[in-house]
Each structure stands twice: as structure tokens, then as C-alpha cells.
Amino acid sequence: MTSAQPTVLVTGGAGYIGSHACKALAAAGYLPVALDSLVYGHEWAVQWGPLEQGDILDRAWLDRILQQYRPAAIMHFAAFAYVGESVTNPGKYYRNNVAGTLTLLEAMRDNGVGRFVFSSTCATYGIPDTVPIVESTIQQPINPYGASKLMVERMLADFEAAHALRWIALRYFNAAGADPHNMIGEAHDPETHLIPLALDAAAGRGPALTVFGDDYNTRDGTCIRDYIHVTDLAQAHVLALTALERGEASQPINLGNGAGFTVREVIAAVERVTGLSVPHTIGPRRAGDPPSLISDAERARTTLGWRPAYADLDQIIATAWAWHQRRM
């Protein structure tokens, strides 16, 4: 480690988005140090810097890591993120996502680390009155997962007022795809995301896909979501860090492509990319599923200079399919 290579601690750095962020950080000249409990992360995903295994609720461990690496900033991805589980086991989510982040922020405060890029979510908006969603849209989360992320955003503002913490909270929409070089990709257990479930169904690796509701007020009756490639997400985190370094104000920023696709359109795209049919059935609506979630990402463009490189749905799915085949 040299002085010319600033260190960034990446909590959840062995996870899906965190590992892609580590790759982007390394390409930008940083040394990414992945902090991960490996409860959901994967050791094979840590390829661009050291892995430190531990829990963000462990203050003594955090102090030791911060004193060892003296990071320029922290990127915080470590969180539990299963919406359904957050409803049935809210304590797990408030303990890890809220109390864990509070422990991290207090360790940063006491060890002189002043820049923070936070992995937030469009789930903080709940069911929006209008789409596309702008950053000033009222935040009314409808599940403990979204509420836990909103609470962290509140803590960031309070820590800035009290301790001069500088932060950017990236509220992203549906992360999808895999590293275009096929080195890392999505590997959740259980898997709940539409595109990998559709790929599993097409390849015969998983059961038929269930479409949750086909009677929404959308163009084909199925839910509309804004899909953003995980590499574009990772690049936005690096741009957020450089924005803080040049003195940009602390703020929330939406990340999405600004285009929505229905579940049926995603299925059709998977069939185009793979040349396979996606067996699927229609199930009942899931409680709390908004009909449409589409981002307005103008602030990401103007403040960060961010432009998605993988905005085409077929292109996103093609990278996911390449990774899916490698894992098979």
C-alpha cells in the first residue's frame, strides 16, 4: 500500500454490488478493502484488495480496521436486503442495518474518517404518488427494509450537523446484470430477483417463474421496474466519492436508467437473449408491490457526471446470462 493509492473500506465488499464497487475502485486507483461477515458474501468475489472478515456491530473490530488502514472514505453496502424477511423479522433488519450503521458511523467519527458513500434504495419512497421519482419525492417506506435505509439517511444528516460528516446516499432501483468480463456476478441464496430467476427457469435450473399479479394498471398488467446494470451502479459510487473529494454537498442521489420495463417485457428479453422459453405462471399480487417504480436520474447526470454504459435491457440480461452459464 503506497501513499499514492488511497484506501477505501467497502463494507459488504464480498457481496453482489459491493464486489463490483471494489473492481471499479481499483480501476480508479484506490485500494479497496472489503469488510464482510460472509453471511451472504462470497470469498471468491473479493479479487481487488484484502478481505477483512467481521461484523459491523463489533466496535472493537471496526476500530482496529480503521486504525490499520486509515481509509480516505467508506463505502457502505453491508445490509440485509430481503424485503419479505424484513416484514416477518424486523428486529434482524433494525439491528444490522440501523444499529450496525450507527456503530460504523461512531467508529468513523472517533477515528477521523469523514467521507461516506451509502448504498440506499428506492424502497425508501414506498409507493410513490407520481413517476418518475425525483429525490424530493416524499419518503414513506412500506416495509422495515426501506424504513431501515431511511433511518440511516436521517443519521447521516444528523452526523453531518454534529460531526461534519460528508456523505452521498445513492438511492438505487433494480440492480441487475454482471461484470462484463464475467469475473463476478449475482449469487444470492435465496435468489429473489426477477432476471436471475427467469434465467434459472429458462435453463431448467429452477422452477417455473411466478409472475406476481397481471392486473396492475400498466401497459400489460404486470409491474414496471427500472433496471440498472451493476457495473453502472459501481461506477456511480466511485463518482460519488470523487464528488465528495472535490467538495460537492452531501445529498441523496437516485440511480436508475429512467426507463421502466414490465415483468412480461423482461421475460421476453430473457427469451430473446437466451433463445430459450421461460416457463412461468401467474400468481397473486404481493403485498406492497408498487405498480411502477421509475427513477429520474437527472441529479446523477448533473452532479456526478454519470452516464449508464449498459442502459439497454437485452445488454444487461446478456451479461447476467454469461455469468449464469459460467456458474452452471
For 260-278, letters b (16+ CB in 10 Å) and e give bbbbbbbbbbbeebbeeeb
Burial class (CB in 10 A: 0-12, 13-18, 19+), 54: middle
Nearest-Å Rg of the Cα atoms of the chain is 19
Q: Is 15 domain-assigned? A: yes
CATH code: domain of residue 153: 3.40.50.720
pLDDT at 1: 43
Q: Identity (one letter) of the amino acid at 145?
A: Y
302 and 236 in a common domain: no
303 and 203 in a common domain: yes
Length of the chain: 328
Cα(153)–Cα(301) distance, integer angstroms:
21
Catalytic-residue membership of 227: no
pLDDT at 115: 98
Choosing from 16, 145, 216, 227, which is the catalytic residue? Answer: 145
Residuewise pLDDT in 10s, the chain (328 residues)? 445 799 999 999 999 999 999 999 999 999 999 999 999 999 999 999 999 999 999 999 999 999 999 999 999 999 999 888 999 999 999 999 999 999 999 999 999 999 999 999 999 999 998 999 999 999 999 999 999 999 999 999 999 999 999 999 999 999 999 999 999 999 888 888 999 999 999 999 999 999 999 999 999 999 999 999 999 999 999 999 999 999 999 999 999 999 999 999 999 999 999 999 999 999 999 877 889 999 999 999 999 999 999 999 999 999 999 999 988 7
Q: Is 137 domain-assigned? A: yes
Q: Is 188 domain-assigned? A: no
Q: Is 185 domain-assigned? A: no
69 and 145 in a common domain: yes
140 and 85 in a common domain: yes
241 and 308 in a common domain: no
220 and 126 in a common domain: no
Cα atoms in the Cβ-side hemisphere of radius 13 Å centred on 211:
22
**Of 80, 76, 56, 78, residue with least CA distance to 117:** 76
Peptide bond into 284 cis (omega under 30): no
142 and 62 in a common domain: yes
Last residue of one domain, picked from the residues 207, 239, 255: 255
Taking each helix axis from N to C end, the angle separating 313-327 and 194-203, rounded to the nearest 10 degrees, works out to 60
Number of domains in the chain: 2
320 and 239 in a common domain: no
Q: Mark residue 177 as left, alpha or beta (left: phi above 0; alpha: psi -120 to 50; beta: remaining).
A: left
Cα atoms in the Cβ-side hemisphere of radius 13 Å centred on 184:
24
* Domain limits for position 128: 7-176+228-255
Which contacts of 21-24 are long-range, i.e. CB under 8 A and separated by 24 or more positions? 21/75, 21/77, 21/233, 21/234, 21/237, 21/238, 22/46, 22/47, 22/48, 22/49, 23/47, 23/48, 23/179, 23/183, 23/184, 23/234, 24/231, 24/234, 24/235, 24/237, 24/238
Q: Are the beta carbons of 224 and 289 closer than 8 angstroms?
A: no
14 and 85 in a common domain: yes
206 and 132 in a common domain: no
Q: Is 91 domain-assigned? A: yes
CATH code: domain of residue 310: 3.90.25.10
199 and 98 in a common domain: no
Rounded to the nearest 5°, which phi and psi values hold at 317? -65, -35
